[in-house]
Chains A and B, each alone.
Chain A
Amino acid sequence: NAGVTQTPKFQVLKTGQSMTLQCAQDMNHNSMYWYRQDPGMGLRLIYYSASEGTTDKGEVPNGYNVSRLNKREFSLRLESAAPSQTSVYFCASSEASEESPLHFGNGTRLTVT
Chain B
Amino acid sequence: QKEVEQNSGPLSVPEGAIASLNCTYSDRGSQSFFWYRQYSGKSPELIMFIYSNGDKEDGRFTAQLNKASQYVSLLIRDSQPSDSATYLCAVDTGRRALTFGSGTRLQVQP
Contacts and interface: CB of A to CB of B under 8 A. Distances in A.
Interface residues of A, number: 23
Contacts, number: 57
Chain B interface helix/strand/loop/mixed = loop
A90 B51 CA distance: 25
Contacts of A44: 100
Contact of B102 (A31, A35, A40, A103): A40
Given A40-B102, A104-B43, A106-B43, A99 B96 contact: no
A48 interface: yes
Contacts of B97: 31, 33, 45, 48, 58, 102
A102 to B, nearest CB: 6
A99 B8 contact: no
B43 A43 contact: no
Contacts of A33: 97
Contacts of A99: 31-32, 49, 51, 92
Interface in B11-39: 31-32, 34
A101 interface: yes
Contacts of B51: 98-99
B92 A43 contact: no
Interface residues of B, number: 24
Given A104-B44, A107-B43, A43 B100 contact: yes
B44 A43 contact: yes
B88 A98 contact: no
A105 B32 contact: no
16 contacts: A35-B100, A42-B4, A42-B100, A42-B103, A43-B100, A58-B96, A90-B43, A98-B94, A99-B31, A99-B32, A101-B46, A101-B49, A102-B46, A103-B46, A104-B44, A106-B42
Interface of A: 31, 33, 35, 40-45, 48, 50, 56, 58, 90, 98-99, 101-107
